[in-house]
Structure 1
Amino acid sequence: MDTVRDITIALLRSLGMTRIFGNPGSTELPMFRDFPADFEYILGLQEATVLAMADGYAQATRNAALVSLHSSAGVGHALGNLFTAYKNQAPLVVIAGQQARSILPFEPFLHADRPTEFPRPFVKWACEPARAADVPQAIARAYRIAMTPPFGPCFVSVPVDDWDRPGEPVAPRVLATRNPGDRTALDQLAGQLRAAKRPALVLGAGVARDQGWEAAVVLAEVQRASVYVAPFASRNVFPERHPLFGGFLKASRSDIVSQLAHHDLVVIVGGPLNLYHTETGGPHLPPGTSSWIIDDNPAVLSWAPSGNAILADSRMALTHLAGAGCDVRRPMPDMPKRSPPPRAMSDRLAMARIAALRPAGTIVVEEAPSSRSAMQELLPMLVPDSFYTTASGGLGYALPAAAGIALARRGERVIALLGDGSAMYSIQALFSAARAAVPLSVLVIVNRRYEALEQFGRHFGLSEVEGTDLSGLDFCAIARGHGVAARRAETPDELDAMLAWSFGEAGPTLVEIIVP
């Protein structure tokens, strides 16, 4: 009979999962015996880096990525970015090594105690198969669950001695999961859209996952509806220089009510509107404003504080609503005016110059919290699938995710836009980027402190915030130590020169951008 390993390799090949993201440990090694020539092992130097690389790769390919981790310690290292993958709705199959079945009763060294409980609640499903022969079927099931909306990571614990045992083959199956939504409810919403005086669309990351960009543009134009990005949306969902683009909603009740005050109908698609970060009281929507929310995740629909809800694929729902529209006579809404680009060295200047100098089709992966408003104002995303960030708010995601996205979209320039504090969480990803020789520009905004926490300190009335000083880091030296060429920019002229250099290189580079 074929071994569990032989059957699993054939299964992974049939699913298009021939890249394995991992950091090898003793209990994983038998999985890689006679490693096939058409597979590639992507080495990360720490498990959090491994998980985020796979997350970026999965989102960019729209197929589940395979992650190989060690037992408890390795899974523990990866948990922060497993949480992010869960919030990103990134489809992952995480396989973790376990000690041999014969010695598990004696709590052996490097075993996993209650392995299926440890990664919860940040996986959709977790399993340690009862028999070695069941391992391929468990991996196949994990793939199907990961690829069923809402997408997300699944976890399989595999004892080290299972790989060489006889296994049972897995038959191929078709997986069709797109949900068009309830037509009666969509038609009811279409009628309300036609009757509205000042409708608004609020779009979340689900629009990008479901490839709903064009459908969103058509619906907005048919209805002459203002379009906003939902709070903390982790993907770009609408052209950010479109005449109907109204900007980014802030993550508090009072700000959302203020920003949506002149709309009588709000249609939220692809993610929650009410993703709050700071506490304020009052209503969730302006008085007299009605709302509908459309998403493929029942949990998002359940916690929406008000309005009607439809469980549906974002693109299919948007397409239906656009087709059910009619020629409207509403005036074009007034859009916010943009301020002139800055001249002095700052994060705002950096965003403006990146926008001016980036090659066409560039992908931005961002983790610079204190500079996010500058990015949203001055570095617009203009084409689909050109922006990714962490949906969880956890740091240490963007740099390895950018490497994973660059692996998935070979030949396209990827920019990892990082704060200096964020960069240090998964700096080991520079090694993986150098080894893969991907066209990755790592741009580090260096203000020598955790500036986002300084801002929150002011919000909470703190006169001084402890533990935010980052002076003394040398990112050029760190990058060179990982095999990545690096340069520093301290003036506007240097900034332009260093960006042009980085964007023109074939392999990974790092630019340390010093701002006041």
Structure 2
Amino acid sequence: MTTGTVRDATFDVLRRTGMTTIFSNPGSTEVPLLAGLPEDLEFVLALHEGSVVGMATGWALARERPALALLHTTAGLGNAVGAIATARVNRAPVVVVVGQQDRRHLALEPFLTGRLHGLAGDYPVWVDQPARAQDVPGAIARAAHEAVTGRGPALVVVPMDDWTADWDGTVVAAPQVVARPTAVDDADLAPLVALIEAAESPVIVSGAGADSPRTWEGLVALAERLGCPVWQESFGARAGFPQDHPLFAGILPAGRAGLRAALRRYDAVLAVGAPVFRQYPYEPGPLVEPGTRVAIVSDDPAEVHRSPAELAFLADPGVVAARLAALLPARPHSPEGVVRAVAAPSRPTAGEPLRAAHVMHELALRLPPEAVVVEETPSSRPDLHRLLPARRPLGFLSAAMGGLGFALPAAVGLRMAAPYRPVVAVMGDGSAIYGIQALWSAAHYGVGALFVVLANGRYAVMDRLAEKNGAGKAPWPAFTEVSLSATARSFGCPATRVDTYGDLVAALDEIVPDLGSRTEPLLLEITVIPDTEFHP
């Protein structure tokens, strides 16, 4: 456009980049942008800024294109920093626009002036405050490209008076389309082909960066070509391989001793879409046994650059996996096989309390293959991985950063972006409390996700870690007074409390068959006893 306001020109940018859904919890500095919003732009209100960015994160991951989050100056950005950090580590392309006081008297630091530069730390992949109002549309267009290329949140600070400034047809300083070729030359792959060919017993480690239909297809072909098992990276935020495939070996241990033991039989390890290697507790010693050769394929530069590998390929994992499957000679499957024996938990007797494993097992019996499970239940994550495999790309999602408050808003945004897929968020009650405000958005906008809350009335994972570290009794109390079902209803979200196995089966039998077509959220608060063991 050649006339109008900066606001009008920005709306054109949003239309062109597909960012027509605006997730926000606005304040006065955002009113000039939002008042009288055009009907073709959808506004989605969240009741906390963490939920704003969390919902945008889920939306971006489901659509695989930038989502727009609009925040209110210092308080809004400050409240959202944890969610911005999670979006970065989850590789979610989110454009974060932050309101600022009127440019014309910023020098006087009026009320609501934000000292915004650096407030989000290094977590944004790109940050800009345009030098003049007419540069705002170009900055937002560039932020969309930066978010996709950098695989994370890109942040633009906009003073509130910029929106009503005249737009005089100034050049938008960003391309309309950015092409990102993914071809890989066979000659470039020659060293990796030679490394794998020389191995007697290769193994693949897949990660969150391999979670796409093309990469799943390529990795399945490669694993079957090599007859080798596929492990999932520990603490992976997404599943990089079908977890019901016969060659899927399980989740790698998060400590070095366990990692070495799991990979001891293999003389070559190929990490695809995963770093070398993600860990949690520090343990001394090498990552793999001496003599084991390690290679990595990832499209994340930071992941590649920090991995202690013999060979590293900064390239599209799906393209590389498919070419390797074509270039490498076929091998027989390992004689001992890698089929995992998954024992279902025994059905509780009358009066016996529910455990998290009972809930995971019953969900696994009912959920269709295309279901998306969003996880945030640290103390029972091993049960979820063991009993509830991801069978489709984006079938599993969790917070790569580890901070609480992700699953509930992410499930809302994801279901909004992918209404054709059943979405279940499985959370501990301690985790759900951090993102509980998103239930209002789910109810108000008719988001038919299922929220399964495993309620043990405490931070069970913290209790287990305190015991493991020999610290004696943990000083923090339980919070058994909290009722998540009552809280959900207060936000307008239907909720049911489940205390027995019979109630659990009845509730899931009623809900799951229609989960893909629901237009109303539901929270199930399921009383479980804390697990006695936790293995990170």
TM (normalized to structure 1)?
0.97
- Deviation per residue, 1:468-507 (Å, 9 max, x gap): 5121111111111111111111111111111223324621
For 2:439, the equivalent position in structure 1 comes to 430
- Alpha-carbon offset, residue 332 of structure 1: 4.5
Using the alignment, how far apart are the partners of 1:342 and 1:212 within structure 2? 36
User: Where does 1:154-233 land on structure 2 (aligned, <5 Å)?
Assistant: 154-167=154-167, 168-170=170-172, 173-181=176-184, 183-208=186-211, 211-233=214-236
Instruction: Report the secondary structure of 1:163's partner residue.
Output: helix
For 1:88, the equivalent position in structure 2 comes to 90
Using the alignment, how far apart are the partners of 2:234 and 2:53 within structure 1? 24
For 2:534, the equivalent position in structure 1 comes to none
Contact residue 417 and residue 443 of structure 1 kept, 8 A: yes
Contact residue 369 and residue 391 of structure 2 kept, 8 A: no
For 2:405, the equivalent position in structure 1 comes to 396
Unaligned runs of 5+ in 2: 349-353, 530-536
For 1:56, the equivalent position in structure 2 comes to 58
Instruction: Report the secondary structure of 2:434's partner residue.
Output: coil
Contact residue 194 and residue 223 of structure 1 kept, 8 A: no
User: Where does 1:22-421 land on structure 2 (aligned, <5 Å)?
Assistant: 22-113=24-115, 115-148=116-149, 150-167=150-167, 168-170=170-172, 173-181=176-184, 183-208=186-211, 211-335=214-338, 336-344=340-348, 345-421=354-430
For 2:502, the equivalent position in structure 1 comes to 493
Instruction: Report the secondary structure of 2:205's partner residue.
Output: strand
Using the alignment, how far apart are the partners of 1:50 and 1:202 within structure 2? 33
- Deviation per residue, 1:283-306 (Å, 9 max, x gap): 111222111011112221222134
- Alpha-carbon offset, residue 158 of structure 1: 0.3
Using the alignment, how far apart are the partners of 2:377 and 2:79 within structure 1? 22
Using the alignment, how far apart are the partners of 1:156 and 1:72 within structure 2? 13
AA of the residue aligned to 2:63: T
Using the alignment, how far apart are the partners of 1:468 and 1:266 within structure 2? 44
Could you say if the C-alpha distance between residues 444 and 330 of structure 1 is closer, same or farther in structure 2, counting changes exceeding 3 Å? closer
- Deviation per residue, 1:97-143 (Å, 9 max, x gap): 00011110111111112x23222200011011110011111111111
Contact residue 225 and residue 333 of structure 1 kept, 8 A: no
Instruction: Report the secondary structure of 1:155's partner residue.
Output: strand
Give the alignment's Cα RMSD to 1 decimal: 1.6
Matched, 1:465 2:468: no
Using the alignment, how far apart are the partners of 2:364 and 2:341 within structure 1? 18
Contact residue 361 and residue 387 of structure 2 kept, 8 A: yes
- Alpha-carbon offset, residue 211 of structure 1: 4.2
TM (normalized to structure 2)?
0.93
- Deviation per residue, 1:173-218 (Å, 9 max, x gap): 2212244456444222122223322111101111115841111111
AA of the residue aligned to 2:165: R
AA of the residue aligned to 2:140: I
Using the alignment, how far apart are the partners of 1:191 and 1:449 within structure 2? 52
AA of the residue aligned to 1:226: P
Query: Which of 512, 515, 522 is the equivalent residue of 1:509?
Result: 522
- Alpha-carbon offset, residue 90 of structure 1: 0.4
- Deviation per residue, 1:400-455 (Å, 9 max, x gap): 00000000011322101100100000100100000111221100001111111112
Could you say if the C-alpha distance between residues 303 and 360 of structure 1 is closer, same or farther in structure 2, counting changes exceeding 3 Å? closer
Using the alignment, how far apart are the partners of 1:417 and 1:164 within structure 2? 44
AA of the residue aligned to 1:342: S
Using the alignment, how far apart are the partners of 2:369 and 2:282 within structure 1? 40
AA of the residue aligned to 2:524: V
Instruction: Report the secondary structure of 2:495's partner residue.
Output: strand
- Deviation per residue, 1:34-72 (Å, 9 max, x gap): 311111111000000100000000000000000100001
AA of the residue aligned to 1:341: P
Unaligned runs of 5+ in 1: none
- Deviation per residue, 1:382-417 (Å, 9 max, x gap): 112211110000110000000000000113221011
Moved more, 328-337 or 403-412: 328-337
Using the alignment, how far apart are the partners of 2:100 and 2:40 within structure 1? 26
Moved more, 190-199 or 66-75: 190-199
Using the alignment, how far apart are the partners of 1:180 and 1:461 within structure 2? 53
Instruction: Report the secondary structure of 2:69's partner residue.
Output: strand
Contact residue 366 and residue 417 of structure 1 kept, 8 A: yes
Instruction: Report the secondary structure of 1:247's partner residue.
Output: strand
Could you say if the C-alpha distance between residues 20 and 332 of structure 1 is closer, same or farther in structure 2, counting changes exceeding 3 Å? farther
Using the alignment, how far apart are the partners of 1:338 and 1:273 within structure 2? 27
Using the alignment, how far apart are the partners of 2:478 and 2:357 within structure 1? 21
Using the alignment, how far apart are the partners of 1:143 and 1:54 within structure 2? 13
- Alpha-carbon offset, residue 339 of structure 1: 2.0
Could you say if the C-alpha distance between residues 502 and 210 of structure 1 is closer, same or farther in structure 2, counting changes exceeding 3 Å? closer
Instruction: Report the secondary structure of 1:513's partner residue.
Output: strand
